[in-house]
Structure 1
Amino acid sequence: MVMAPLVLVVIVSFVLVSIAVRYGDDTVSDTYYKDSRLYHYSAEQDEQARALGLAGVLLFSPQDSTVSLDLRGNLTYPEKLLLTLSHPVEADLDEHVVLEQVSAGRYRGAVKAPMQHRWYLQVIPELNPEEFRRAQWRLKGEINFNLGNGVPLKPAEL
């Protein structure tokens, strides 16, 4: 009788710790770095995209699970681009899609992520997702599949 509350507290503690470890917060993945107690945002990639006049339109096709990108700007179009779909809440759902050039400024790729709800989008010319900070430029956007399947991409606003 005396030990029952103590045993209950220990059991509840183990359950809460296991929930905290399994469903912990995801980390922010962008060009932020910590300097003392201040956070700074690096906008070099966005400025470069703006200088090149880059813009694009992504069109998702849920029927065949593909995405196409129409890119325009003053650049030599790379053979491949990397599209990152970032879920706003669950990092486990994030996906990297390689977009291959089908014609000048037009790219296509296959998407495995569910085309529903809201996603953050980023296109870079670097194919290794771990090296996104080294990319020369980037375009960003946000899509809500409840509202449509197309979205414009542009450099992030400062």
Structure 2
Amino acid sequence: MNDQSPKPWYRETWLWLVLAPLILVVLVSLTMVSIAFRHADDTVSDTYYKDSRMYHYTAGQDERARELELAALLQFNPETHVVSLDLTGAVEYPPALLLSLSHPVEEDLDHHIRLAQVSSGRYRGTYDGELHHRWYLRLMPQLDPEQHLDAEWRLKGEINFELGQAAPLNPAVQ
């Protein structure tokens, strides 16, 4: 006698042939969603109009730097992680300066380096981590990066660490 008792539902071959592609699609979808959230691009500022209006306000900082004939030369030392700055111009040298390094793509990689005065017009500071590729530079006498709009003057520049370890800083050109 041939006993053909039915198998439990989870032991049926046809069921797994139907469910396997569906389960695979769900797993791949969850993986893709987690990758998308983990590696999301930075978003455009919601206040872009306000930021563009503030550009005219901060242009006064560049004007003031031109009036004071300010210029600086920045030098990075990758072995010791020391950054040196030589500042020239008709200004009373502040005891400390703030150097902001802005990454062109990833906001999370931005750095703020406090530069202390070591002699007249000469500043030095240290930074953590390795610096590679291209960065935007901003130098100002205001030590709080959140209050950069209150700075009396600012100098700007750009550095590509693939090409060298030094960069000039000057007032932004209108």
Quick check: TM above 0.5? Answer: yes
Structure 1 counterpart of 2:30? 14
Structure 1 counterpart of 2:89? 73
TM-score by length of 1: 0.83
Per-residue deviation, residues 135-155 of structure 1 (Å, max 9, x unmatched):
221111111122221110011
Counterpart CA distance in 2 for 1:69 and 1:138 is: 14
1:35 aligns with 2:62: no
Unaligned runs of 5+ in 2: 1-16
Question: Once the 2 structures are TM-superposed, how far is the Cα of residue 64 of structure 1 from its aligned partner?
Answer: 1.5
Structure 2 counterpart of 1:84? 100
1:25 aligns with 2:58: no
1:132 aligns with 2:148: yes
Question: Once the 2 structures are TM-superposed, how far is the Cα of residue 157 of structure 1 from its aligned partner?
Answer: 1.8
Counterpart CA distance in 1 for 2:154 and 2:95 is: 16
Counterpart CA distance in 2 for 1:78 and 1:100 is: 9
Secondary structure of the corresponding residue to residue 83 of structure 1:
strand
More helix by share: 2
Structure 1 counterpart of 2:8? none
Per-residue deviation, residues 14-35 of structure 1 (Å, max 9, x unmatched):
2232222222222579xxx533
Unaligned runs of 5+ in 1: none
Secondary structure of the corresponding residue to residue 26 of structure 1:
coil
Question: Once the 2 structures are TM-superposed, how far is the Cα of residue 123 of structure 1 from its aligned partner?
Answer: 0.8
Question: Once the 2 structures are TM-superposed, how far is the Cα of residue 125 of structure 1 from its aligned partner?
Answer: 1.0
The residue type equivalent to 1:84 in the other structure is S
1:54 aligns with 2:60: no
Percent same amino acid among aligned pairs? Answer: 56
Contact 1:77–1:104 at 8 Å: present in 2 too? yes
> RMSD of aligned C-alpha atoms?
2.5
Counterpart CA distance in 2 for 1:87 and 1:73 is: 28
Question: Once the 2 structures are TM-superposed, how far is the Cα of residue 39 of structure 1 from its aligned partner?
Answer: 4.1
State how many pairs are aligned: 155
